[in-house]
Amino acid sequence: MTKPLIGITTFNRNNDYGRPMSGVQHTYIRAVVQAGGIPILIPSILEEEDRNDLYARVQGVLFSGGGDISIKYFQGEDHPKIAEVDDSRDITELTLLKKTVEDGKPFLAICRGVQVMNVALGGTLYTHIPDQFNTTLEHSQDEFTTIAHPVNIDEDSRLAEIFGETLLNVNSLHHQGLKDVASSLKVVGHAPDGMIEAVELPDHPYAMGVQWHPEWLTDQPVMRRLFKSFVDASQK
Q: Which stretch in 4-12, 64-72, 134-142, 179-187 sits in contact with Mn ion by CB under 5 A?
A: 134-142
Is residue 139 flagged as an active site residue?
no
* CB-count burial class (<10 Å; 0-12, 13-18, 19+) for 113: buried
Candidates 93, 197, 200, 215; catalytic one = 215
**Residues in contact with Mn ion, total (CB under 5 A)?**
2
For position 128 contacting Mn ion by CB under 5 A, the verdict is no
For position 172 contacting Mn ion by CB under 5 A, the verdict is yes
| Cβ 98 vs Cβ 120: under 8 Å | yes
Closer Cβ to Mn ion, 44 or 115, answer by number = 115
Is residue 215 flagged as an active site residue?
yes
Phi first, then psi: give them for residue 149, nearest 5 degrees: -165, 160
Candidates 93, 111, 174, 175; catalytic one = 111
Measured CA to CA, the distance from residue 229 to residue 32 in angstroms comes to 11
User: Measured between alpha carbons, how far is residue 22 from residues 41, 92, 145, 207, 213 in Å?
Assistant: 9, 13, 24, 25, 20
Nearest CA-CA partner of 199 in 134, 132, 107: 107
Q: Which stretch in 21-29, 111-119, 167-175, 216-224 sits in contact with Mn ion by CB under 5 A?
A: 167-175
Q: How far is the CB of 175 from Mn ion (least distance, A)?
A: 10
Closer Cβ to Mn ion, 139 or 204, answer by number = 139
| Cβ 45 vs Cβ 14: under 8 Å | no
Q: How far is the CB of 65 from Mn ion (least distance, A)?
A: 12
Query: Which residues, listed in sequence order, are joined to residue 189 by a DSSP beta bridge?
Result: 153, 198
Q: How far is the CB of 152 from Mn ion (least distance, A)?
A: 12
Residue from 139, 158, 175, 179 that binds Mn ion (CB under 5 A)? 139
For position 12 contacting Mn ion by CB under 5 A, the verdict is no
Enumerate the active-site residues: 111, 213, 215
